[in-house]
Structure 1
Amino acid sequence: MNFSSFEPKTLTVLVVDDERNLRLLLCRAMETEGYQVQEASSGESCLALCEQHLPDLILLDAVMPDLDGFACCNQLQARLADRCPPILMITALSDCESVDRAFAAGAIDFVTKPIQWPVLRRRVQRILQTHQAMTELRQLRAQVKALQEAASPQTPETYIT
């Protein structure tokens, strides 16, 4: 695994928040860190964007009208399964039930508002590095499996006649 290949400019962060000003601040913060940024103002638009192009990370507000972040997270997990990008839930909710609900829905981390920008910056970096390492590990496992299958002697029923 090559952590030195971690390049923010090649990674996309999807910012989902119904509050326009906070969404713009989050977008600006991610752009300042060198990430490509997409934005959505609702859970529904988040789902639609993810069908077109999967981001590397989703910053998802928990409290939104119509489809809240918890339901959106559940739907992303159900639709995308192993392909689902990591989701960092961002919310003013800080009670135990909301935190548990976010993780149960599939969020990988949880940040409360008001946002502590240095904390968010480091969490985003850590999540993306971990996600990249896990992706590389899955690819290496698939390569090893393919090599093992190619090297193993074929049994008589696998020969083509």
Structure 2
Amino acid sequence: MPDADFQNNPPLILVVDNEKAFRLLLQRAMEKEGYRFAEACNGQHCLDICQQQPLDMVLLDAMMPGMDGFACCAKMRAILGDDCPPVLMITSLGDRKSIHRAFEVGATDYITKPIDWEVLRQRVHRLVAYKGAMTEVRHKIQRECQLTVQLEEVNRELQSLACFDNLTKLANRRYFDEYLQRE
């Protein structure tokens, strides 16, 4: 990722796993790729961090004591809504039911242990790029909405100028003709 913004502000990835050794492995892999790293040891800790700071991605273990990754992912989606970062579920569960459940609760992607590090690297890269693209699209939509509101306001003002005399504030011939046409 030779992007200048990536160099100045690398994406922040949260790794959630109850095993410290696995979090350390993922930390090293993410830092090697140039990402910033945060960690959480369980689902509740993950939710707390997600509400405190914006994240670019979450690597989430499915099997944890207390709140598992499935419940955590569902709550994260419910709490953060459109602001929820992409969630890559990482687990040793490879059966269809678990995979289906992960996507059902809102995981963006799914990878099984033992991890193929090249596959992980590519998926993280793709999901971080996806988040950036979605953020850009949301900003463009907001801008278009603002422009639409401004355009409607200017059109109303223009309609007023076209139908009322500026000096006397009385309806002009154009207004009369439009009113007559409507009636």
TM-score, structure 1 as length reference: 0.90
Equivalent residue, structure 2, for 1:7: 6
- Is 1:25 the counterpart of 2:25? The answer is yes
Query: What percentage of residue pairs aligned between the two structures are identical?
Result: 47
Pick the aligned partner of 1:154 from 145, 156, 160. Answer: 156
Contact 1:12 1:38 in 2 (8 A): yes
Task: Output aligned runs, 1:40-79, within 5 Å.
Answer: 40-79=40-79
Q: Which has the larger radius of gyration?
A: 2
Query: Does the Cα contact within 8 Å between 1:6 and 1:129 map onto a contact in 2?
Result: no
One-letter amino acid of the counterpart of residue 93, structure 1 = L
The structure with higher relative contact order (CA 8 Å, sep 6+) is 1
Q: Describe how 1:130-149 pairs up with structure 2 within 5 A.
A: 130-149=130-149
Q: Secondary structure of the residue that 2:54 maps to in structure 1?
A: coil
TM-score, reference length from structure 2: 0.80
AA in 2 matched with 1:37: F
Q: Deviations over 1:15-34 (max 9, x none)?
A: 00011111110011001111
2: CA distance between counterparts of 1:55 and 1:145? 26
State the alpha-carbon separation in 1 of the partners of residues 71 and 54 from structure 2: 18
Distance 2:5 2:119 in 1: 19
Residues 30-50 of structure 1: CA distance to partner in whole angstroms, max 9, x if unpaired? 011111100011111111111
Aligned residues: 154
Task: In structure 2, give the amino acid aligned to 1:7.
Answer: F
Quote how far apart the aligned CAs of 1:10 are: 2.2
Residue in 2 that maps onto 1:99: 99
Gaps spanning 5+ residues in structure 2: where?
160-183
2:117 maps to 1:125 = no
- 2 CA distance for matches of 1:26 and 1:154? 57
Looking at structure 2, the residues matched to 6 and 29 of structure 1 have their Cα atoms a distance apart, in angstroms, of: 20
Measured against aligned partners, the alpha-carbon deviations of 1:36-92 in whole angstroms (never above 9, x if no partner) come to 100011111111111211211000000000000000001101111111111000000
Alignment partners' CA distance in 2, 1:111 and 1:6? 28
Give the root-mean-square deviation of aligned CA atoms.
Answer: 1.7
Deviation at 1:154, TM superposition (A): 2.4
Give the stretch that moved more between structures: 87-96 or 44-53: 44-53
Unaligned runs of 5+ in 1: 157-161
